[in-house]
Structure 1
Amino acid sequence: MLNVDGNQVHLVDKGIGPPVLFLHGNPDTSDVWSGLIEHIQSEHRCLAPDLPGYGRSIAAQNFNCSLEHLAGFVDGLVLQAGLTEPLHLVVHDIGGQFGLAWAVKWPEKVRSLTIFNTAFSPDYPWTTLHKIWRTPLIGELAQRLTSRRAFTREMKKGASRLTTAQIDQIYDRITPAMKKMALRFFRASELSHFQGWDTQLRDLASRIPSQVLWSDDDPYIAPAFADRFGAQVVRRYPGYGHWLALEATDLVGRELKAFLARTRS
């Protein structure tokens, strides 16, 4: 466990070589990256934390979910992990808000960007599910009433190629603390807060190796948002849902490995 600004952070740390930092989404943990890490750990040091309040990590009571503080958390994590050279950043879902905010604030510490389906734009429309989570009492009630069957149904809606075993693993790792943190995170997130951060991100993505790996059948984030990051390469995967790293692990694992190899040349 690392102590990062009062947060007790579980960190997967495997492999040797140029560092790659993986930041997961909701309702995931660092385990979502295990398949991709297997593809590259022979040539890279792979670091994947459970974000504060998720999985085995414990959030500080005063954890602040503003973009400024999310960026600060990532920088604290980087320092605590002993990383002194620029690193490759891989993000998905809310991990994008953590990681991309950090990249904007400390661009000199970022060697490359790989972005899976995530929203980092003031134009993103909240989904019905997000609106429920953002509503006091209603969000708590919805979480309490979400059975394994209902959770499986929602996950299949988000990514039809996920297996029942994969969904069960995700469900079994959800803790009461994760549920509370998810509500806290989405209630603190205001789309207007991305104004300015998004333009700085586009500028950064145009200057360093950057790619978007986007699954077009994501019901939570429209395909058009893949082009909002200003990445040098946008690769689309029709027929895949929100959890591309789980649905097409070998496919995107090979793509990530090739991309990282190209940054060396």
Structure 2
Amino acid sequence: MNQTGSHPLVLKHGLTEEYPFNQNYLTTDSGRIHFVDEGTGPVLLFVHGNPTWSFAWRNLIKRFSPTHRCIAIDHLGCGLSEKPQNEVYRLADHIERLQLLVETLDLQQITLIAHDWGGAIGTGVAGRIPQRFSRLVLMNTGAFRSQQIPFRIALCRIPLLGKLGMQGANLFAQAAVHMAVNEAYPLSPKIKKGYLLPYDSWRNRIAIDRFVKDIPLSPSHPSYEALTEVEKGLTKLTAKPILLPWGIKDWCFTPEFLKEFQRIFPEAQTVRFEEAGHYLFEERPQELGDAIAKFIGQTEESTSISSD
């Protein structure tokens, strides 16, 4: 499962300093999934969204891997995972594959750290096997049905036009490295290269296109039932410690999504980053890491006290 050394793409483009992680792979029925597995200790499970990959978590992995086991998946079609050209990119498919990774590695007492689509995928797994999860960190994400969809994303769902823009011209990923980094704008050329690296051709951008099309806005959508099940599963997580770090100037997962999470999880801790946008891990990596470290420390202490 482990292959020592950096991925050839990372080496070729001089990104080993930013992304100095060994390759790890899990073979699934749909294709081979790449994941980061660094450090030992309590498990942090990082789950990315669209159009990112495990590169987004590099700063947090480097910070926490001396004391924690950091697992960061690349969803099928994303990052360094295989990119099959068939229909294996529904929400339910991503949930199944993440659950397979969790169970294959026999991860226990997991701290879930999720962003964007990773929130629905990660909580989808946590709702199925809540006994394996200790706490959740959910940032600028959603895990429930909503009619809110930004106009810019709605355009990407227009047949042919959206496909040409996302898979052909890579407009979605290109726009993200500009529009999602409010306080970190402009990203350095090297970091932009890191985000765009796996999405360098029509074939390699298939998951970006499929993720956008998989947003279920009506009961007739193929993933509506899966998202409904994710939403129902949140009730199994309400007793767990939950942290909600949020970039308030996110144009995609707006503060309305934060309010809904606060309604579902009234005991959750919230850390608002008033000037930050969608990519907290780029805009405020130090402060985000501090908030997560404080949250883990506090909740580990309270869990220990309650069990004594």
Task: Give the alignment's TM-score, normalised by structure 1.
Answer: 0.89
1:72 to partner: Cα distance:
1.4
Q: Which residue, out of 161, 171, 196, partners 1:171?
A: 196
SS of match in other structure, 2:101: helix
Query: Is 1:141 paired with 2:164?
Result: yes
1:128 to partner: Cα distance:
2.0
Query: Is 1:195 paired with 2:220?
Result: no
Query: Is 1:86 paired with 2:109?
Result: yes
Instruction: Name the residue aligned to 2:13.
Output: none
Q: Which residue, out of 48, 59, 76, partners 1:35?
A: 59
Q: Which residue, out of 45, 49, 55, partners 2:73?
A: 49
Instruction: Name the residue aligned to 1:249.
Output: 285
Q: Which residue, out of 146, 159, 182, partners 2:208?
A: 182
Does 1 or 2 have the higher relative contact order (CA < 8 Å, sep 6+)?
1
Map Cα deviations across residues 145-188 of structure 1 (whole Å, 9 max, x no partner): 4579x935x54333222233133432334233442112122223
Instruction: Name the residue aligned to 2:304.
Output: none
| Stretch of structure 1 that moved more, 159-168 or 210-219 | 159-168
Map Cα deviations across residues 48-87 of structure 1 (whole Å, 9 max, x no partner): 111110111014555544443332111101123x224231
1:223 to partner: Cα distance:
0.5
SS of match in other structure, 1:9: strand
Q: Extract unaligned runs of 5+ from structure 2.
A: 1-24, 219-223, 302-308
Q: Extract unaligned runs of 5+ from structure 1.
A: none
AA in 2 matched with 1:119: G
**In structure 1, what is the Cα distance between the partners aligned to 2:171 and 2:90?**
31
**In structure 2, what is the Cα distance between the partners aligned to 1:257 and 1:204?**
24
- The aligned runs of 1:1-265 (5 Å cut-off) are 1-60=25-84, 64-80=88-104, 82-143=105-166, 144-146=168-170, 151=174, 155-162=177-184, 163-165=186-188, 166-176=191-201, 177-192=203-218, 193=224, 194-195=227-228, 197-201=230-234, 203-229=235-261, 230-231=264-265, 232-265=268-301
Residues 127 and 237 of structure 2 are in contact (CA less than 8 Å); yes or no, is this contact kept in structure 1? no
AA in 2 matched with 1:3: T
Map Cα deviations across residues 201-244 of structure 1 (whole Å, 9 max, x no partner): 1x234210111111000011210211322331121110001000
AA in 2 matched with 1:181: A
Aligned positions, number: 261
Residues 27 and 178 of structure 1 are in contact (CA less than 8 Å); yes or no, is this contact kept in structure 2? no
SS of match in other structure, 1:236: strand
| Stretch of structure 1 that moved more, 48-57 or 121-130 | 121-130
SS of match in other structure, 2:250: coil
Residues 75 and 94 of structure 2 are in contact (CA less than 8 Å); yes or no, is this contact kept in structure 1? no
**In structure 1, what is the Cα distance between the partners aligned to 2:74 and 2:178?**
23
Residues 28 and 170 of structure 1 are in contact (CA less than 8 Å); yes or no, is this contact kept in structure 2? yes
Residues 95 and 125 of structure 2 are in contact (CA less than 8 Å); yes or no, is this contact kept in structure 1? yes
AA in 1 matched with 2:287: L
AA in 2 matched with 1:161: E
**In structure 2, what is the Cα distance between the partners aligned to 1:260 and 1:175?**
37
Residues 159 and 243 of structure 1 are in contact (CA less than 8 Å); yes or no, is this contact kept in structure 2? yes
- Sequence identity percentage: 26
Instruction: Name the residue aligned to 2:6.
Output: none
**In structure 2, what is the Cα distance between the partners aligned to 1:34 and 1:145?**
27
Residues 165 and 171 of structure 2 are in contact (CA less than 8 Å); yes or no, is this contact kept in structure 1? no
Aligned pair in 2 of structure 1 residues 63, 211: CA closer, same or farther (>3 Å)? farther
| Stretch of structure 1 that moved more, 13-22 or 155-164 | 155-164
**In structure 2, what is the Cα distance between the partners aligned to 1:61 and 1:79?**
26
SS of match in other structure, 1:38: helix
Instruction: Name the residue aligned to 2:22.
Output: none
SS of match in other structure, 1:228: helix
Residues 89 and 99 of structure 1 are in contact (CA less than 8 Å); yes or no, is this contact kept in structure 2? yes
**In structure 2, what is the Cα distance between the partners aligned to 1:255 and 1:236?**
11
**In structure 2, what is the Cα distance between the partners aligned to 1:123 and 1:17?**
37
